[in-house]
Amino acid sequence: MMTLRDKLSISPARFFYGFIVLYFLFMLDFAARLGITSAFPSMKSELGFSDTTIGFAGSIVLAGMTVFVLPFSFIADKTSKKRSLNVMSVIWGGGCCICGAASSAFTLLFGRFLVGAGNASYAPVSVAMLTSWVNRPYWGTIIGFYNSAMSLGLALGTSIVGVLVHKFGWRAAFYGVGLLTLIFAVCSLSVSDAKTNKPKNEENSVRLSEAFSFTLKNKTLLLLGLGVGAANMGYTAMITWIPMYLVRIMGWNTVDVAAYMGPVYLIQGLCVTALSGVLIDWISRKTSPRSRALIGVPAFIGCALTFYSGFHYQWILGLAFGMFLFKIPVTGVHVATQELVPARYKSSAYGTYVLLLQGIGFFGSLLVGLLSDTYGLQKAVEYMQLVFCAGAVFMLIGGITYMVDYRRAQENDDGNIVK
């Protein structure tokens, strides 16, 4: 009977310590990036920002991620993933603290850009570390449970930020997230670095031209990035603007928003995201690896329908269901970035995906802000649901091309085609 030690390439103690630290940093990544948006209504009221500025504050994080994701991912593949992770967490923790001190739009946007720069390659690097510690048959399961940190960070971030804003003001929320991130950045100095089966001189010989040839020229990887990127336009816009919608259209206060959205994000992380990894592994074994892409088609169409219904009819459960549906295919795409390229390019492949995910997603919150200033918030959030439909189309095409790139990656790794 296989034991836990047989599933790992490092000791169980080192694995659990590393997993816990990476998990908490991933939670803080999403608390700093998105959970903090529950402080935006109070910040807007105090500083007098327009909807366009608030939308930009939500989107500029993704601009920072877009600019730095490939450089940080490549540096991590070229040098040390652990050291890269340390630096990135310090950058976004510092960015949060700068936001807490903001008194102008420029300072706020600068701090939010630093948050994005720090967040940029955290997921690619940390997932590459995890998949180096765990044997391939369990990647989907471990990534699924690891990805639950995204929603848990949103849940706790939204809830705690809502309480901090109500008790101490919006600045305390930014300072709290920033300082906690810096504490865990120190803890990350003691995690194990990524394991590799390749000689050190070969591992460090990775060239930028090679990384681009296996990532930016990988059709399926690009299609999946375009698909989830289009859907992420809608998703990040929903996270940024649902609190504003509940306050302005439905008359809630920040504590009410936190009390509702916090549990939604908690269920999303602990149940939907975690179990999606197990589901993806099971479906791919029963059918083929291409199911990692195809599951996004019904999920993203369902997002468009449930979000639209939630806003149009002020059906609060519809907003929750939309959040749940978006997360179902995401773990499958994360696994795809690890198996569509040779092992030495895993961080760069995930980085390419994040480049598209956040580069396209950048326009979501900003677009809603622009539409809201022109047509009103109600129409703006309803119109945004079209982007989920576009994402479903890209996922369908990615499912068609998946197996060609999958087999090519396996051949480059060990000369054997894995069916």
Q: Summarize pLDDT for 349-401 with one digit per residue, the tens.
A: 777 787 788 789 888 888 998 999 899 999 999 999 999 999 999 999 999 99
Average pLDDT of the segment spanning 107-120: 93
Name which of 48-62, 215-229, 230-244, 260-274 the model is least confident about. 260-274
Q: Which CATH number fits domain 12-195+207-413: 1.20.1250.20, 2.40.37.10, 3.30.560.10, 3.20.20.150?
A: 1.20.1250.20
Asked whether 385 and 304 are in contact (CB, 8 A), the reply is yes
Asked whether 390 and 230 are in contact (CB, 8 A), the reply is yes
**Residue 386: exposed, middle, or buried by beta-carbon count in 10 A (0-12, 13-18, 19+)?**
middle
Q: Is 8 helix (H, G, I), strand (E, B) or coil?
A: strand
- What pLDDT score was predicted for residue 211? 63
- What pLDDT score was predicted for residue 307? 96
Average pLDDT of the segment spanning 405-415: 75
Place of tokens 């990656």: 409
Q: Summarize pLDDT for 301-313 with one digit per residue, the tens.
A: 999 999 999 999 9
Which of the pair, 165 or 275, is modelled with greater confidence? 165
**Token representation of residue 174:** 């930014």
Q: Summarize pLDDT for 135-165 with one digit per residue, the tens.
A: 776 777 788 788 888 878 878 888 888 888 8
Asked whether 294 and 396 are in contact (CB, 8 A), the reply is yes
Residue type at 332 in one-letter notation = G
Name which of 113-117, 248-252, 257-261 the model is least confident about. 257-261
Sign of CA dihedral 248, 251, 252, 253: positive
Alpha helix locations (H) across 120-253? 122-133, 139-168, 170-187, 200-203, 208-215, 219-248
Place of tokens 């804003």: 165
Which of the pair, 207 or 201, is modelled with greater confidence? 207
Q: Is 134 helix (H, G, I), strand (E, B) or coil?
A: strand
Phi and psi at residue 3, in whole multiples of 5°?
A: -95, 170
Helices 219-248 and 254-267: crossing angle in degrees, nearest 10, is: 150
> Residue 40 and residue 405: Cα distance in Å, rounded?
42
- What pLDDT score was predicted for residue 97? 95
> Residue 102 and residue 171: Cα distance in Å, rounded?
8
Q: Summarize pLDDT for 39-92 with one digit per residue, the tens.
A: 888 888 888 888 888 888 888 988 888 888 878 877 887 778 888 899 999 999
Reported confidence tier of residue 299, pLDDT bands at 50, 70, 90? very high
Phi and psi at residue 193, in whole multiples of 5°?
A: -75, 170
Asked whether 73 and 124 are in contact (CB, 8 A), the reply is yes
- What pLDDT score was predicted for residue 416? 44
pLDDT at 217 over 70: yes
Closest CA to 381 of 371, 392, 391, 366: 371
Domain ranges of the chain: 12-195+207-413
Place of tokens 């302005």: 248
> Residue 5 and residue 44: Cα distance in Å, rounded?
51
Model-wide pTM > 0.85:
no
How does the average pLDDT of the chain come out, rounded? 84
Helices 330-339 and 316-327: crossing angle in degrees, nearest 10, is: 10
Closest CA to 31 of 122, 207, 156, 175: 156
> Residue 337 and residue 317: Cα distance in Å, rounded?
32
Which of the pair, 213 or 409, is modelled with greater confidence? 409
- What pLDDT score was predicted for residue 301? 97
The CA-CA-CA angle for residues 272, 273, 279, to 5°, reads 80
**Size of the chain, expressed as the number of residues it contains:** 419
> Residue 320 and residue 318: Cα distance in Å, rounded?
5
- What pLDDT score was predicted for residue 209? 60
> Residue 227 and residue 170: Cα distance in Å, rounded?
34
- What pLDDT score was predicted for residue 419? 38
For the chain, what percent of residues have pLDDT higher than 90? 36
Reported confidence tier of residue 332, pLDDT bands at 50, 70, 90? confident
Name which of 28-37, 113-122, 347-356 the model is least confident about. 347-356
Asked whether 394 and 227 are in contact (CB, 8 A), the reply is yes
- What pLDDT score was predicted for residue 414? 56
Q: Summarize pLDDT for 173-193 with one digit per residue, the tens.
A: 999 999 999 999 999 988 887
Closest CA to 122 of 209, 198, 27, 40: 27
- What pLDDT score was predicted for residue 111? 95
- What pLDDT score was predicted for residue 108? 93
> Residue 327 and residue 154: Cα distance in Å, rounded?
13
Give a three-class secondary structure readout of 403-414: HHHHHHHHHHHH
